[in-house]
């Protein structure tokens, strides 16, 4: 009987956490186009808290577009063209986002921690470009199989996974 009570208590806490956070997210594959990236950012202004992009445009492996309403968070990988970017609205007061390159640091996958400023609970958000392996011998064909399986999380961790499934490569 106590385990059922604890379970319902956990569900109530989860719902309360979700209701107090209320994050607005936009996700899109930009096909390496600055025009598509700018269109996403223009649409997202004043409507979205977090913009999650895959196959974003990058110049010289480190430079991408900027937007006056958003802060860009990118993987900490050096000398490699990253394909995942997260933009967080500068004016949000509901939560704080922090790059989690200690959990994953890849050109095709990034993680951020989202902390609700009122109740101090965390969500871990993963942005994944799910590229098919170029190695024919690799039994783990896609990025999600190769990299996400390496991530160690505790059972209490709340997680959001946003990715480009690359279903057209199946």
pLDDT tens-digit readout, 157-168: 888 988 776 655
CA dihedral (41, 43, 45, 49) positive or negative: negative
Tens-place pLDDT, residues 84-130: 899 999 998 889 999 999 998 888 889 999 998 777 778 999 998 87
Tens-place pLDDT, residues 46-62: 999 999 999 888 777 66
pTM exceeds cut of 0.75: yes
Cβ neighbors of 9 (< 8 A, separation 6 or more) are: none
Report the pLDDT value the prediction gives residue 170, as an integer from 0 to 100: 47
| β-sheet bridge partners, residue 169 | none
Domains of the chain, by residue range, sit at 2-169
Question: CATH number of 2-169: 3.30.420.40, 3.40.50.970, 3.40.50.410, 3.60.10.10?
Answer: 3.60.10.10
Q: What is the DSSP code string of 11-34? A: HHHHHHHHHHH---EEEEE-TT-H
Give the C-alpha distances (Å, rounded to integers) separating 110 from 64, 99, 107: 16, 8, 8
């Amino acid at each position: 009987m106590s385990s059922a009570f604890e379970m319902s208590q956990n569900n109530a806490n989860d719902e309360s956490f979700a209701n107090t956070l209320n994050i607005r997210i936009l996700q899109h594959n930009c096909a390496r186009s600055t025009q598509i990236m700018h269109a996403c950012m223009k649409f997202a202004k004043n409507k979205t808290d977090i913009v999650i992009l895959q196959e974003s445009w990058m110049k010289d492996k480190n430079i991408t577009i900027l937007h006056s309403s958003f802060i860009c968070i990118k993987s900490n990988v050096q000398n490699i063209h990253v394909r995942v970017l997260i933009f967080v609205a500068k004016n949000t007061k509901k939560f704080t986002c922090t790059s989690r390159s200690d959990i994953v640091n890849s050109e095709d996958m990034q993680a951020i921690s989202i902390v609700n400023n009122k109740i101090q609970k965390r969500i871990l958000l993963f942005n994944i470009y799910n590229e098919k392996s170029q190695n024919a011998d690799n039994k783990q064909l896609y990025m999600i199989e190769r990299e996400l399986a390496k991530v160690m999380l505790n059972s209490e961790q709340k997680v959001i996974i946003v990715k480009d499934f690359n279903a057209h490569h199946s």
